[in-house]
Amino acid sequence: MIALTVVPAMSSKMFKKIKNKENKFMDILSNWYAKLLGVALKLKIVVILLVIVLLGTSIYLTTKMDIEFIPSVASDEMSLSITMPDEATKEETRNVADTVIERILTISDIYKIGAIDNSTASTMMNASASGVSMYLVLGEERSMSNDEIAKKITELTADLNAEIEVSTSDMDMSAMMASGISVKIKGNNIDKLKEISADVENKLSTVEGIDEIEGIKENSSQEKRISVDKNKAMKYNLTVAQVYSKIASEIKSELEATKIEIDSKEYQVIIQKSARDKIDSNNLMNIEFDVKEDEEEKTIKLSEIASLADSTGLENITRENNNRYITVTAGIKEDASMTMISREVEDLFKDYEAPEGYSVQIEGEMDSTMEYMADLLLMIVAAILFIYLIMVAQFQSLKLPFIVMFTIPLAFTGGLLGLFFTGQPISIIAMLGFLVLAGIVVNNGIVFIDCVNQLVEDGMEKIEAIQLTGKLRLRPILMTALTTILGLLSMALGIGDGAEMTQALGIVAIGGLVYSTILTLFFVPVLYDLFYRKKKK
């Protein structure tokens, strides 16, 4: 609205005396462009093939690029946790902490260190009870990145008898979702699930870049397993259910006997077994059953009809759609690529044959990220559809908007190449860059096509109209592109604290604008000449 009202009004007052100054640079550039455009119009197939090859190259490069949810932002704080062995004393823990502080203070980029003894800290710290949590404040002007500082700390403390973990950022947005690799094993039989889980853990351990595998061992606890011999139990007219019912009642250490009322207040009476009568693993098989054999009453022990064995069982049993499942998780090393590891894990389990009635499903950070990516792709498709409908209404044609629309998917080539050459992963922020790009790359194409249409409608030959439009619109097209590119430059360079969050958006927009400007100047004219066959009135 400003462009349609305020700008014309101000121009009418401010530009009363305008002198046309000769711009030698633009004249030379226009002449060069006119010659190149003439060559492009003669070699249409070559131009189209070159664009298609670049598009195919960019699509291929996406298979080699990392994919992440949201870029982690390097803050001026880092955290470090020291986990000591279970048998370590408080004095040993603090001595190790002092050693760690002494060593890492040799790193010039670390300004201050704060430490908390986890043995006295709140459990809300999510830290080990035997260890120390440290918070590192970094200097304002740093010579190393957070990742490089973390690597240096790991090297300096590698010989200590403690597990030391360094977190490079407190602003990692991907922490909101599932992290690392997660493999869900579904089925009914617990023993079979444990067997498959162990096999999955062994396979994951072969993948380089994976660490901290957690599965059945971390979710298991020692248990005593009683197996009832049905034939022996039937001999005494006992069922398995009766045996287990008896065992369940015997191992209870206390039970509610009755309730009594004193002064209008009701109290529960609890009967508790004495230490002598309590059932434990030593006398469990001595539980007695009153049975009949050949019409003769007798007492037998549990050991006569059942066996006892040590085993491991799950601490908790999880279900999904009435199916039991066990989850095996694995972390990704800091210097490893989440995308590459995920692809390798998918290939590893692609042909995995689980027993009938059981399934192995790969989930985790990559799976969640791809769901978000799919939603953003739908948004981009919707945006392209709206842009097309608006241009159809303006041009009163289905064909002309189609020519301009070609610049959108092809401009994505520039965005993808920008990400690839700057080493940036494909993230949600980068996808937002493509969404923004879809709306701005069509502007110059619309300006070019509209000008050609006007000249053709006025009676000029099509090729002549295209070449003249190139000369007339070269300057405003370059101005529009350069102002936007320079405006996004500071974002793309990632200058300032927290700039990593939006850096990918700037890179995608600049890469797409540079490439789409070239497309507008060469590819759009070629497509116009190919598709526009309307005869001159």
What's the CATH number of domain 222-314, 2.60.120.650, 3.30.420.40, 3.30.2090.10, 3.40.50.150? 3.30.2090.10
Secondary structure element (H or E) that encloses residue 135, with its range: strand 131-138
Q: Which residues of the chain have pLDDT under 50?
A: 121-129, 170, 172-178, 536-537
E-state strands within 157-275: 163-167, 181-187, 210-214, 220-228, 254-262, 265-272
Class of 77-170 per CATH? Answer: alpha beta
Q: Parse the chain into domains and list their residue ranges.
A: 23-64+397-531, 77-170, 222-314
State whether residue 508 is helix, strand or coil.
helix
112 CB-side CA count, 13 A: 6
Q: Any idea which residue has 């190259």 for tokens?
A: 57
**pLDDT score at 510:** 92
Spatial neighbors of 362 by CB under 8 A, at least 6 apart, are 181, 182, 183, 184, 342, 345, 346, 349
Separation between Cα atoms, residue 228 and residue 240, nearest integer Å: 7
**pLDDT score at 121:** 45
**pLDDT score at 496:** 67
Separation between Cα atoms, residue 82 and residue 103, nearest integer Å: 14
**pLDDT score at 211:** 72
Instruction: Give the CATH architecture of domain 23-64+397-531.
Output: Up-down Bundle (1.20)
**pLDDT score at 2:** 94
Q: How far apart are the first and last CA of the chain?
A: 35
Q: Determine phi and psi for 182, rounding to 5 degrees.
A: -130, 125
